[in-house]
Amino acid sequence: MPEPAQPSRRNLLQALTAGVFLYACPFAPTWASSIAARSPAPDFTRSSITNHTPVHLRAFRGKVVLINFWATWCGPCLAEIPQLVTWQNRYRAQGLQILGISMDDSSRAALDWVHRLSINYPVVMSDPRLSLLYGGILGLPVSFLVDRAGVVQRRYEGSIAGSQTEQELVRMLRQSSAKP
């Protein structure tokens, strides 16, 4: 059995140079664009703030997942959540799963709004690590549309409570369900 190829000193030097360049270069992939569309959605597990059960992103594989970063201090976030609640009801049977990630500093305020808005999908708390996984969440609302294979298809900055987003959702639910 042949030995696995050893990296040459030149290859190591090239890798090191590339690493230093990417670290220092101002044109390296930016904060917000570092999670690209059509890349696997970074997996995570966090506790639901309503019942403290673990919520695994991976467990939703096979569904179309809409991940919504929000916070109670974000007016546009609160304004769009009733629409998300409607979508969750309307498209649950077709395989839509919405997942809320609160950027609040504590879960108490988030839980209060979960009840006030009758949120009907799991909500977990974010933390710097989770925000980093999704490319940095430096403004709200931000949402990600993940297909049934667990691949990020869209990143939305700003409100998504419009008919265009719903059309994209429906299209993805139909396309995905048509696959074998």
Partner 1 sequence: MSTQHTRRNFLLHTPVALGAIALALDTSRLQAESATTIPSSALLEPAFVNAQLQRSHAAPWKILQVGFHSMFDQKHIRGAMYAGPGSQPDGLALLRQTVQAWPHTQPILLYCGCCPWTHCPNIAPAWDQLQAMRFSSVKVLRIDNNFGADWADKGYPVA
Interface residues toward partner 1, by CB under 8 A? 26-27, 30-33, 71, 73-79, 103-105, 116-117, 126-128, 131-132, 136-140, 157-158
Nearest approach in angstroms of CB 170 to partner 1 is: 26
Distance between CA atoms of residues 62 and 147, nearest Å: 8
Q: Which residues pair with 52 in a beta bridge?
A: none
Instruction: Report residue 125: phi and psi, to 5°.
Output: -90, 145
Instruction: Report residue 18: phi and psi, to 5°.
Output: -65, -40
Distance between CA atoms of residues 5 and 145, nearest Å: 40
Nearest approach in angstroms of CB 87 to partner 1 is: 18
Nearer to partner 1, 52 or 129 (CB): 129
Query: CA distances (Å), 88 to each of 95, 136, 155, in order?
Result: 9, 26, 19
Nearest approach in angstroms of CB 177 to partner 1 is: 34
Nearest approach in angstroms of CB 126 to partner 1 is: 6
Task: Output Rg (C-alpha) for the chain, integer angstroms.
Answer: 19
Termini Cα distance of the chain: 39
Nearer to partner 1, 120 or 177 (CB): 120
Contacts of 146 by beta carbon, 8 Å cutoff, 6+ apart: 41, 60, 64, 65, 66, 67, 152, 153
Nearest approach in angstroms of CB 13 to partner 1 is: 27
Nearer to partner 1, 128 or 180 (CB): 128
Nearer to partner 1, 16 or 25 (CB): 25
Nearer to partner 1, 41 or 77 (CB): 77
Nearest approach in angstroms of CB 132 to partner 1 is: 7
Nearer to partner 1, 100 or 148 (CB): 100
Query: How many other C-beta atoms are found inside a 10 Å radius of the C-beta of residue 3?
Result: 5
